[in-house]
Amino acid sequence: MRRQVTILGATGSIGLNTLDVIRRHPERFQVYALTAWRQAEALAALCLEFQPRYAVMADPLAAEQLQALLQGCSDTVVLAGESGLCEVAGAAAVDTVMAAIVGAAGLRPTLAAVETGKRVLLANKEALVMSGALLMDAVVRSGAELLPIDSEHNAIFQCLPPTQVRDLPGAGVRRILLTASGGPFRTASLQAMQEATPAQACAHPNWSMGQKISVDSATLMNKGLELIEACWLFNTRPAQIEVHVHPESIIHSMVEYVDGSVLAQLGSPDMRTPIANGLGWPERIDAGVPSLDLFALGRFHFERPDLNRFPCLRLAAEAFEAGGTAPTVLNAANEEAVAAFLAQRLRFTDIPVIIEKVLSSVSVVSADSFDTIFVKDEEARILARELMSL
């Protein structure tokens, strides 16, 4: 029987790569639902190819446009809004949910998938950053299967014993070596970074990604969010994780064991590899990725991250250690600052400045409920907007 798959964020890079893997395995997977934010024409084309039972536009006006585009040429039912996203994420017929909505907007539908016990392929790191303990508790209660899709976390997952993913001491793990490409400004001066444009920040040297995650990669906030995500996924703390800047982006992360062994997962910088790993787990399935040519690469390089030029990594580690709602505040402030930078209302180097000001001004409370998480998320966003309007 084919696995029924819902893809949250189908028109983004992760969603499109997921569909490419599914396209190669029609005997294994069937698309149950596809979702997008506003790209109605792009989602309509995907619906005509994959014929999902449901399609959801988060924006109600875009849903009306999608309905008109599919009229008379598809039996796909069109839904709208966050309620529609949660409905297709938690539907009884669904086995697997690719959680690839960018940012805080992905938390509620990801939670809906977790609470109904799905195999959740987590590409939305912000959901775990915002509500780590609550989301992991929900995974345990529901019996959901949470598999990491970020290339780094998937690499770590592949280097750990399957039964001890959250028991690093029991597995004999000394530390996790989390790799980072360094982004487009790895060797840039502070002066050059002050004058950076959105186009320059989004020009990642190795990966093809959306604008938000590209800017996060340029500030190293993406690595900071991944640091927090790794702590929750593998039940550890920042002190047991060391970030290594690896500009070739071929070693996706490593795990060091107490006997001195270091296991690494290597591969071309192609998200279809971790996506195929999650879809097929525990089997290996073809991802359409060509073989890695190590002769052509020749050598690998590693550097320590420069926390003076890239303070976002430090801020993320501090937010995790502060606990409670601090990571929620960090994420919200970052999303607002990145959006302002992309709109050319904020300098690139002011992104961490805004984040640090918001973190120092918004009180940290216990992350005891999702309602608390959403309240603090909104409080941080309001303050960030106010600071950027001064």
Q: Over the stretch 299-330, which tens digit does the pLDDT of each residue have?
A: 999 999 999 999 999 999 999 999 999 999 99
Quick one: pLDDT band at residue 172, thresholds 50, 70, 90? very high
pLDDT at residue 32 above 80? yes
Whether residue 382 contacts residue 376, with contact meaning beta carbons closer than 8 Å, is answered with no
pTM for the model stands at 0.95
**Sign of the alpha-carbon torsion through 97, 159, 131, 376:** negative
Burial of residue 136, with CB atoms counted within 10 A of its CB: 0-12 exposed, 13-18 middle, 19 or more buried: middle
pLDDT score recorded for residue 1:
80
Let me know whether 315 and 255 are in one domain: yes
Q: Do residues 165 and 94 share a domain?
A: no
Count of domains for the chain: 2
Contacts of 101 (CB under 8 A, 6+ apart): 8, 9, 12, 35, 37, 85, 109, 110, 124
- Could you write out the DSSP letters of every residue in 147-201? EE-SHHHHHHHHHS-GGGTT-HHHHTEEEEEEEE---TTTT--HHHHHT--HHHH
Question: Is there a single domain that holds both residue 126 and residue 270?
Answer: no
Tell me the average pLDDT across 8-23.
97
Tell me what pLDDT residue 117 has.
Answer: 98
* Alpha helix (H) residue ranges in 303-363: 312-322, 326-342, 351-361
Same domain, 71 and 19: yes
Output the average pLDDT for the chain. 96
Question: Which CATH number covers residue 25?
Answer: 3.40.50.720
182 dihedral zone (left: phi>0; alpha: psi -120 to 50; beta): left
Same-domain pairing of 229 and 356: yes
Are 200 and 238 in the same domain?
yes
Q: Cα(135)–Cα(25) distance, rounded to whole angstroms?
A: 31
- What's the half-sphere exposure (Cβ side, CA atoms, 13 Å) at 22? 25
Q: Are residues 105 and 136 in the same domain?
A: yes
Q: Is the confidence at residue 390, as pLDDT, over 80?
A: no
- In this structure, the answer to whether residues 328 and 279 fall within a common structural domain is yes
Q: Residue 123: pLDDT above 90?
A: yes
- The tokens describing 209, both together, are 């990604």
Average pLDDT over every residue of 52-72? 96
For residue 330, give the CATH number of its domain: 1.10.1740.10
Shared domain check, 109 and 79: yes
Measured between alpha carbons, how far is 155 from 149 in angstroms, rounded to an integer? 9
- For residue 303, give the DSSP letter: B
Of 332, 386, 341, 378, give the one whose Cα is nearest residue 359.
Answer: 332
Query: Model confidence over 349-383: pLDDT tens digits?
Result: 999 999 999 999 999 999 999 999 999 999 999 99
Residue 86, both tokens:
């949660």
**60 lies in the same domain as 141:** yes
- Does residue 239 share a domain with residue 102? no
Q: What is the side-by-side strand order in the sheet with 262-266?
A: 241-245, 173-180, 251-257, 262-266
pLDDT tens by residue, 244-297: 999 999 999 999 999 999 999 999 999 999 999 999 999 999 999 999 999 999
Mean pLDDT of 168-185: 97
Question: Do 215 and 242 have their domain in common?
Answer: yes
Nearest-10 Cα torsion for 14, 20, 21, 24: 170
User: How far is the CA of 125 from the CAs of 75, 101, 103, 186, in angstroms?
Assistant: 33, 9, 8, 23
- Domain stop point among 80, 115, 149: 149
| Type and span of the H or E element at 4 | strand 3-8
Q: Token pair of 100, please? A: 């690839």
**Residue 174, token pair as written in the block:** 């000394």
- Residue 72: predicted pLDDT: 87
Of 149, 165, 183, the one marking the end of a domain is 149
Using one digit for the tens of pLDDT, what is the confidence trace for 186-229?
Answer: 999 999 999 999 999 999 887 777 899 999 999 999 999 999 99
Of 128, 149, 170, the residue at which a domain comes to its end is: 149
Q: Which residues constitute the domain of residue 261?
A: 157-389
If you write DSSP's letter for every residue of 56-108 in order, what string do you get? EESSHHHHHHHHHHHTTT--PEEEEHHHHHHHHHH-TT--EEEE---SGGGHH
